[in-house]
Amino acid sequence: MQPSQTPRLELIGITKRFPGVLANDQVTFSVLAGEIHALLGENGAGKSTLVKMIYGVMQPDAGEIRWDGKRVVVTNPKAARKMGVGMVFQHFSLFEAMTVLENIALGMDASIPARDLEAKIVAVMRQYGLKLEPHRIVSTLSVGERQRIEIVRALLLNPSLLIMDEPTSVLTPQEVDQLFIVLRQLAAEGCSILYISHKLHEIKALCDTATILRGGKLVDTCDPRVETSRSMAEKMIGGSLKDIQRGASKGFGADKLVVQNLSVAKDGHFGIPLRNISFRVRAGEIFGIAGVAGNGQNALLLAMSGEVPCDDASVTVDGVKVGRMTAKQRRLAGVASVPEERNGHAAVPEFSLSDNAILTARDRLGMVTGGMINKRASVTYAGEVITAFAVKSTGPAALADSLSGGNLQKFIMGREIMQKPAVLVVSQPTWGVDAGAAGAIRQSLVDLAATGSAIVVISQDLDELLSLCDTLAVINEGRLSKPMPVADAKIEEIGLLMGGVHGEGAIHAA
Amino acid sequence: MSPEYIIAAIVTIVGLTTPILLAGLGELVVEKSGVLNLGVEGMMLVGAISGFGVTVLTFSPWLGVLGAAAGGAVASMLFAVLVLQLNSNQVATGLALTIFGTGLSSLLGLSFTGRIIVPFLSVFPDALAKNPIGRLIFGYSPIVYFALIMVPAVYWFLKSTRAGLILRAVGENDHSAHSIGYSVVMVRYAAIAFGGAMAGIGGAYFSMVITPMWAEKMTAGRGWIALALVVFAGWRTGRLLAGAYFFGFLMWLELFAKANGFGTTLPFLQVIPSQFWAAMPYVMTIVALTIISARGTAGSNAPACLGRPFLPST
Amino acid sequence: MRLKLEKRPEPSLLMLVAAPVASVLLTMIIGVVVFDLIGIKGAKAVMDIFLTPILSPVKWQDVAAKAAPLIIIALGLSVGNRAQVWNIGAEGQYVIGALAAAGVGIAAGASGGPDVLLLMIAAGMIGGAAWGGIPALLRTRFNVNEILSSLMLTYVALQVLGFMVGGPWKDPNGRNFPATAPLADNQTLPIIVPGTTIHLGVAVAVILPFVFWILMSRSVFGFQIRVVGSAPNAARHGGFDAGRTIWLAMLIGGGMAGLAGSLEFSGMLHKIDLGFPSGYGFTAIIVSFLGRLNPIGCLVAGIVMAVTYVGGQMAQTSVHIPNSTAGIFQAMMLFFILASDILVRYRVRLLPSAKTVGAGE
């Protein structure tokens, strides 16, 4: 590839603003013909937004996109496909009860007779060694095979740029190898590939160039074959976090929450199974679980809250086995939890705050006598939570979905914390919450720990975990790393673990 | 049993089957698009009076059939607007359509009570249609042949046309279909209108062929059997045809058991009451539905979005 | 132009109350116009159907008798509908409930009195609940859609009735009509307003809505039903089991329908014949929606529905329209209510049709 060559795709000063967030800030880079170009970054770094603009799903607020040297405005995905851009989404939505052929036909912009289409599909599959039976029903296919449908669909349009969004997150190692072979062949034929990922070893193995984004800004464009995983991880996460000081000599009590070899089967096609997770949290300790979204965080929270049952001995609280207990029993045993999704999971949007208090506090706080709810107790408790956590609302009668995200989150956190749980498990406690509320929520966690509770914080926000937690572990593909005291934690180490590179090389394709 | 008797029985079964086959084919297409319309009985009644009324006024049974189709389709649009445009509950709206259609047909039928028309029977020469064997093939109303032609037509439409593919996609995953760029609402409008037209013709078979006069509630609950039929057939066109004739046979057994008491020459019929045969279509449907559901989504032909309202996220 | 629905920040309280009233008024106005158009005295017909039953006290007992089963069935169905469990087989559960009561009555022979009556009613509730339990079992065990299974079971129940009253339970003194023998006086519900047909079941229908109202708004059970219906994941988080909720909803829906069936049998008709299933179970679904799934709403909607039934019969003789014409009005009321439901939660706005702007490179 000569430097003089006109790039296939050029992004110049691309900026995209959402209410309250600058998703992309002056991003500039280019992709050459036949190049496999990685787009690397944490969640929220702005990768998806950027790609959506290239594919015509959104329009940039500023900056320009050039295609083969000419300035273009991509109005919609159809225009993008016409231009020669194909995209394979991370969560492809296929029509389950229909055949592979029918699914591909539905996704084509033009109507092609079934027989011609089948011939074309067979030709494309033969060319790239993709195995797929056109007449199979999609519901009988593995996730890898489903992804192949999307790839074939994209390839039928002879794209000159193929965008792959986290393509390996749902694949087995063998499927990943096969995918890489196809991508390399495509690149050799001159098709450019924009490969979105946070997995460092994959990028080293596959890509010619890597563009690293952090907080919407371009950090670096580098050659991943020259860089080390460590250096890329540092760029992805940023060096600004090094001066974290945590009182290391804080004394902890006895083990409160012990998780031993917890395994949970995966739920649905895009679910992540939990594999042999073990950790312990002592009284007064805040235990952080870092990781990129979609690596089993949801499954872990559900297994902790009791919404998904697990082996009896895999979870113990104060020495009592709670694994097989229901959500209600776990709460009585002292385990409180706050799931990531506020609306519809942690709270019922169209219920009042006092009714939402009943949802999880009714048994521990004696709001129920003889099957009847003591409304006054729930209103009183909701009022106490509102006051103690400075929830901005019209009072206990306010509907949950009339509150801002931050205020509803403060209410939910308060609802659990004021029940004085022995163990509190929270996921993304400050996701989408303004800075003031986030500070208050973190403070409340520290205060709860000070009273002797054990706390687990699952978060994608590394800053948050490093400033809040005593101990930290990283979750990746449903496995939990060895816990480390935050005081001793090294940022590159965490970055490598998040990128799926384990110190011992325990993971495939290290 | 004499051959004449058997021929007569077959002709009766064809007559019993045709209305539920027509209405079932229509409902199959509606359900394939993801909509559950429980108003079949109401649409059949509206079709019955429309077909009868148009025939009385124009003296043309052919226009009568068109009128029945139009009547059923117009009635179905009432349901469609509420369900598709205003996202009302499909179950309640469909039931209301049945009550509405029953009332409307009775009201419209006021001025037609007591009128009679020439039944819309075989259009083949008597030489063919009247001889015992020829009767088996040529002895039916054109509506019967229409119903039989519609079976492969619906099969071909769903299986091999792009429009049919899109219709199935909409019933299978409305949000995906929407995001690819198909209009879920328009597809469903078309499907519901087709379902209404087919139910209307099915209803007209009662007022134009079986008893060439109008009587209130003359479809006698066959709309519900048509609904059961679609489920019993596992949402497959070929099985719908087989199921319709099977149900027709069961209905004939019921009539037979009623008419002959239990004193027949067939020993097994002596001990089985007519109600047993009348209940069979529904029992069989529940069994079939249980088998289909227990197998899970894999290999099932049930539209995944059946009965769920479609609320696009943007 | 196209319609666009915009979610309101809070449900409009005004619309919530005004919508049902407006629906009834609109139905009446449209009725007058349409009837006039087809050459029937519209004002007279609408007057007879909607107002005469209310204005003439002699008709009140008919309204009460019709309203009672509608209200009782609708109460049970509202519980299921709130939890998004769709039981549309109440008609069958009503029939099985009545048959169960009849079975107890027959088994009791000549004995009667409050004990036997209580047993009959309990059997009615158990019978209805059992019939409603079948769809619950099929749904929780095999994931069978309860809409379809409960509907199919209704028609099975009708045949069970046909068989029982035409066979084993046929009245030997009934001139070979398929019907059970009339209940002896000691097995019928007492009349509570002397000189009328208003029986104890009517009182039950008046009291039950308040019981259900307390149950739904104050009890953990009611809370569970409401959470499962509006946010299933939150319900799971709060420790409520989805399968149990389906069972409860179906058993209560069936039990109430069975109760209505046994009360109608022991209080009103005193025998079961082929005309016993008169569609109350289906109409009650409409009552439930007309009453916005609220117990007190069901009480009011049941009375309105009953008025149109009685009025329909009156219009039959006064303006010579078929009895079932009342169905047009019942359906129209529901259509308007369902349509206005959207107005409670959404604002409807007309937008110019959206076309993609520019196509250009």
Q: Which residues contact A226 (CB under 8 A, 6 or more apart)?
A: none
Crossing angle for the helix pair B142-160 and B61-80, to the nearest 10 degrees = 40
Q: C 271-310 residues with CB below 8 A of A?
A: none
Q: Indicate the range of A177-186, C39-48, C86-95 predicted with least confidence.
A: C39-48
Residues of chain A in contact with residue C9, where contact means CB-CB under 8 angstroms, are 402
Q: Give the residue among A93, A161, A461, A168 at the shortest CA–CA distance from A290.
A: A461
Superfamily assignment of A243-334+423-510 in CATH?
A: P-loop containing nucleotide triphosphate hydrolases (3.40.50.300)
DSSP string, A143-211: HHHHHHHHHHHHHTT--SEEEEESTTTT--HHHHHHHHHHHHHHHHTT-EEEEEE--HHHHHHH-SEEE
Residues of chain B in contact with residue C325, where contact means CB-CB under 8 angstroms, are 103, 106-107
Whether residue A417 contacts residue A424, with contact meaning beta carbons closer than 8 Å, is answered with: yes
Three-state DSSP at C173 gives coil
% of residues, chain C, pLDDT over 70: 91
> Shortest CB distance from A72 goes to which of C10, C233, C361?
C361
How many other β-carbons are positioned within 10 Å of the β-carbon of residue A18? 11
The average pLDDT across A306-330 equals 91
Q: How far is B114 from chain C (nearest CA, A)?
A: 14
pLDDT at C357 over 60: no
Using CA atoms, how far apart are residues B5 and B208, in angstroms rounded to an integer?
A: 25
Instruction: Return the ∠ at Cα B170 (arms to B165 and B176), rounded to 5°.
Output: 110
Burial classification of residue C13, based on how many CB atoms lie within 10 Å of its CB (0-12 exposed, 13-18 middle, 19 or more buried): exposed
Are A9-237 and A243-334+423-510 in the same CATH fold? yes
Tokens (6 digits) for A252: 């902890």
Where do the structural domains in chain A lie, given as residue ranges? Answer: 9-237, 243-334+423-510, 342-420
Size of interface A-C (CB pairs under 8 A): 78
Give the pLDDT confidence score for residue A461 in this predicted structure: 79
Three-state DSSP at A336 gives strand
The average pLDDT across A144-173 equals 86
Q: C 231-290 residues with CB below 8 A of B?
A: 282-283, 285-286, 289
Are B165 and A106 an interchain contact pair (Cβ–Cβ within 8 Å)?
Answer: yes
A457 backbone dihedrals φ, ψ, rounded to 5°? -115, 115
Q: pTM (2 decimals)?
A: 0.85
Q: Give the residue among C56, C52, C71 at the shortest CA–CA distance from C311.
A: C52
Instruction: Return the ∠ at Cα A281 (arms to A278 and A287), rounded to 5°.
Output: 90
Rg (CA), chain C: 22
Within an 8 Å CB–CB cutoff, is residue A107 touching chain B? Answer: yes
Instruction: Give A347's DSSP letter.
Output: B
Tokens (6 digits) for A428: 């993304």
pLDDT at C361 over 50: no
> Shortest CB distance from B86 goes to which of C160, C329, C339?
C339
> Which chain A residue is nearest to residue C234, measuring alpha carbons?
A345
- Among C7, C237, C240, C357, the strongest candidate for a mutation testing the A interface, having the largest count of A CBs within 10 A, is C237
Give the pLDDT confidence score for residue C136 in this predicted structure: 97
Give the pLDDT confidence score for residue A246 in this predicted structure: 44
Within an 8 Å CB–CB cutoff, is residue A94 touching chain B? Answer: yes
Using CA atoms, how far apart are residues B247 and B250, in angstroms rounded to an integer?
A: 5
Q: Which residues contact B183 (CB under 8 A, 6 or more apart)?
A: none
Whether residue C234 contacts residue A347, with contact meaning beta carbons closer than 8 Å, is answered with: yes
Number of structural domains found in chain B: 1
How many other β-carbons are positioned within 10 Å of the β-carbon of residue B116? 12
Using CA atoms, how far apart are residues B220 and B295, in angstroms rounded to an integer?
A: 34
pLDDT digit string (tens) for C173-212?
888 889 999 999 889 999 998 888 899 999 999 999 999 9
Q: Give the residue among C284, C286, C271, C307 at the shortest CA–CA distance from C60.
A: C307
Whether residue B42 contacts residue B56, with contact meaning beta carbons closer than 8 Å, is answered with: no
pLDDT digit string (tens) for C265-298?
999 999 999 999 988 999 999 899 889 899 999 9
Instruction: Give exposure, C154-185, as e/b (b: 16+ Cβ within 10 Å).
Output: bbbbbbbbbbbbbeebbbeeeeeebbbbebee
Q: Indicate the range of B157-166, C25-34, C351-360 predicted with least confidence.
A: C351-360
Q: How confident is the model at residue C42 (pLDDT cuts 50, 70, 90)?
A: confident
Whether residue C309 contacts residue C325, with contact meaning beta carbons closer than 8 Å, is answered with: no
Here the ipTM equals 0.86
Length of chain C: 361
Using CA atoms, how far apart are residues A281 and A318, in angstroms rounded to an integer?
A: 10
Q: How far is B85 from chain C (nearest CA, A)?
A: 8
Within an 8 Å CB–CB cutoff, is residue B312 touching chain C? Answer: no
Give the pLDDT confidence score for residue A279 in this predicted structure: 95
B264 backbone dihedrals φ, ψ, rounded to 5°? -110, 175
Residue B304 domain-assigned (yes or no) = no
Average pLDDT in chain C:
88
Whether residue A302 contacts residue A309, with contact meaning beta carbons closer than 8 Å, is answered with: no
Alpha-carbon dihedral sign for residues A462, A468, A470, A473: negative
Using CA atoms, how far apart are residues A186 and B13, in angstroms rounded to an integer?
A: 62
CATH number, span A9-237: 3.40.50.300
Q: Give the residue among C214, C248, C203 at the shortest CA–CA distance from C229.
A: C248
Are B300 and A93 an interchain contact pair (Cβ–Cβ within 8 Å)?
Answer: no
CATH number assigned to the domain comprising residue B147: 1.10.3470
Give the pLDDT confidence score for residue B264 in this predicted structure: 54
Q: How many helices (H) and strands (E) does chain C have?
A: 14, 2
How many other β-carbons are positioned within 10 Å of the β-carbon of residue B143? 23
Q: Indicate the range of A225-239, A357-371, B231-245 predicted with least confidence.
A: A225-239
Whether residue C218 contacts residue C225, with contact meaning beta carbons closer than 8 Å, is answered with: no
Q: Indicate the range of A231-245, B88-102, C311-325 predicted with least confidence.
A: A231-245
Distances in whole angstroms, Cα of residue B187 to Cα of each of B163, C4, C111:
9, 18, 63
Three-state DSSP at A248 gives coil
Tokens (6 digits) for A443: 């403070």
Give the pLDDT confidence score for residue A96 in this predicted structure: 83
Rg (CA), chain B: 20
% of residues, chain A, pLDDT over 70: 93
DSSP string, A87-98: EE-SS----TTS
Give the pLDDT confidence score for residue C2 in this predicted structure: 58
DSSP H or E segment with residue A310:
none
Residues of chain B in contact with residue C151, where contact means CB-CB under 8 angstroms, are 38, 224, 227-228
pLDDT at C237 over 50: yes
The average pLDDT across C314-343 equals 84
Give the pLDDT confidence score for residue C11 in this predicted structure: 60
pLDDT digit string (tens) for C140-181?
999 888 988 999 999 999 999 999 998 899 988 888 889 999
The average pLDDT across C120-144 equals 96
pLDDT digit string (tens) for A83-129?
999 998 877 778 888 899 999 998 887 778 888 999 999 999 888 88
Residues of chain B in contact with residue A98, where contact means CB-CB under 8 angstroms, are 165, 168-169, 172
Give the pLDDT confidence score for residue B156 in this predicted structure: 96
Q: C 1-40 residues with CB below 8 A of B?
A: 3, 5, 38
pLDDT digit string (tens) for C344-353?
766 666 655 4
Tokens (6 digits) for B195: 């379902």
> Shortest CB distance from A347 goes to which of C234, C236, C359?
C234
DSSP H or E segment with residue B260:
none
Q: How confident is the model at residue C257 (pLDDT cuts 50, 70, 90)?
A: very high
- A462 vs B226, more confident: B226
Q: How far is C116 from chain B (nearest CA, A)?
A: 30
> Which chain C residue is nearest to residue B96, measuring alpha carbons?
C331
Give the pLDDT confidence score for residue A128 in this predicted structure: 87
Within an 8 Å CB–CB cutoff, is residue C236 touching chain A? Answer: yes
Fold category of C48-329 in CATH: ABC transporter involved in vitamin B12 uptake, BtuC (1.10.3470)
**What domain range includes position B210?**
3-294
Whether residue B248 contacts residue B232, with contact meaning beta carbons closer than 8 Å, is answered with: no
The average pLDDT across A192-199 equals 89
What is the residue type of C88? I
Q: Phi-psi region for residue A6, left (φ > 0), alpha (ψ -120 to 50) or beta?
A: beta
pLDDT at A372 over 70: yes
Residue B121 domain-assigned (yes or no) = yes
Alpha-carbon dihedral sign for residues C110, C114, C115, C121: positive
Tokens (6 digits) for A270: 């895009």
From first to last of the 314 residues of chain B, give the pLDDT tens digit.
677 888 888 999 999 999 999 999 999 999 999 999 999 999 999 999 999 999 999 999 999 999 999 999 999 999 999 999 888 889 889 999 999 999 999 989 988 888 888 889 888 887 777 777 888 888 899 999 999 999 999 999 999 899 999 999 999 999 888 877 889 999 999 999 999 999 999 999 999 999 888 998 899 889 999 999 998 898 999 999 999 999 999 999 888 877 765 445 566 666 778 888 889 899 988 998 898 888 765 446 788 888 887 776 54
Average pLDDT in chain A:
87
Give the pLDDT confidence score for residue C153 in this predicted structure: 96
How many other β-carbons are positioned within 10 Å of the β-carbon of residue C348? 13
Residue B226 domain-assigned (yes or no) = yes
Are C234 and A344 an interchain contact pair (Cβ–Cβ within 8 Å)?
Answer: yes
Q: How far is A309 from chain C (nearest CA, A)?
A: 12
Tokens (6 digits) for B216: 């209130």
